[in-house]
Amino acid sequence: MAIFLPGSATPTTELGYGCSQLMGRLGERQSIALLHAAYDSGIRHFDVAPSYGYGAAEQVLGQALRGKRDKVTITTKFGLSPPQHRAFIAAARGIARPLVKLVPGARRRLALAAGTLVSRARFTPEELVSSLERSLAALRTDHIDVLLLHEATVDDLDDELLGALERSRRAGKIASFGIGREAASTAAIWRADRRFCPVLQFEWSALSGPPPDFAGTFVITHRALGENLKRLGAWLAANSAIARTWSDELGIDLAAPATLSGLMLAAARESNRAGITLFSSSTADHIRRNADFLLGGARPGIGTSFARLVARDARQLMRIETQPELVDADRP
């Protein structure tokens, strides 16, 4: 089914690829190969940010999409600035990359260290314009389909910032704009000032419970997989009888490779039928399998049926997902 983002005339896909893993532990050639795998699998929406990949993800996305820009839609962001001294960081990343493969936990520690290099911008009209111009240049395009205010708060929003967004939209540099941050804070902004909310992007998975209702807003969700997939997969492995019951009720073998990730994506997709579901992967085969499952004709309603089973039988997991502060408290 073709999806149209607000203000955009380019049809896009219900499944989008998130570029947060590009140019981190991966090199340029690997990152481009993943983007090509996503495109060749039928994915036409790509989500990126100036802060991703130590500041290099936008540039590699623009390179990978040369000659394809009129066939895809792109979301980028303003608010978290890329790290300074990127040339030094790129060299350090090249040295660290072999370490990630050898040392358990090194990937997570490097990711946390990278997070400390990202600074939060002041949400002024001047910084918005300069950030947008840098993104347009890096992406090799003359327009962005959606520009999200990355980690903005209610206090960051004012008439001057809205005016700058509207001027960028009228100039054709962005088709639409919105807010990108965690679901609870997104809801607070939506209640406080919906002028900034033509598009909302936040996390949702089958472990999150009922999705929020943002009537009249285009919704993009992410984090359907990742740690949620690992948590649910481990829980099902420890509860094999429930896994067999779920397989019987769904008519699909949960022990088959990639089935669980496909079901979790389908649940996210079916909870947001008018919007876009993002996922990220650093493995081309996983990208292809997920795209084949969701874009290739997954049985209608199977994601909703799966989410109902999760709600019925995995309430403790859902409680941890919706109240993260319980994770440590619930450990033995």
Domains of the chain (ranges plus CATH)?
8-203 (3.20.20.100), 224-332 (no CATH)
CB contact at 8 A, 145 and 175: yes
Active site residues: 52
H/E stretch holding 77: strand 73-78
SS3 call for 47:
strand
pLDDT digits (tens, 9 = 90+) for 122-143: 899 999 999 999 999 999 999 9
- The predicted pLDDT at position 150 comes to 94
Predicted confidence band at 296 (pLDDT cuts at 50, 70, 90)?
A: confident
- The predicted pLDDT at position 119 comes to 65
* Average confidence (pLDDT) over 1-30: 93
Query: Above pLDDT 90, what percent of the chain?
Result: 74
pLDDT digits (tens, 9 = 90+) for 46-93: 999 999 999 999 999 999 999 999 999 999 999 987 766 555 455 445
List all residues 6 or more positions away from 86 whose beta carbon is below 8 Å from its beta carbon.
Answer: 54, 55, 56
Q: Which residue has the higher pLDDT, 184 or 101?
A: 184
- The predicted pLDDT at position 80 comes to 83
Mean pLDDT over each residue of the chain, to the nearest integer: 87
Predicted confidence band at 231 (pLDDT cuts at 50, 70, 90)?
A: very high
pLDDT greater than 50 at residue 327: no
- The predicted pLDDT at position 111 comes to 47
Tokens describing residue 301:
């309603």
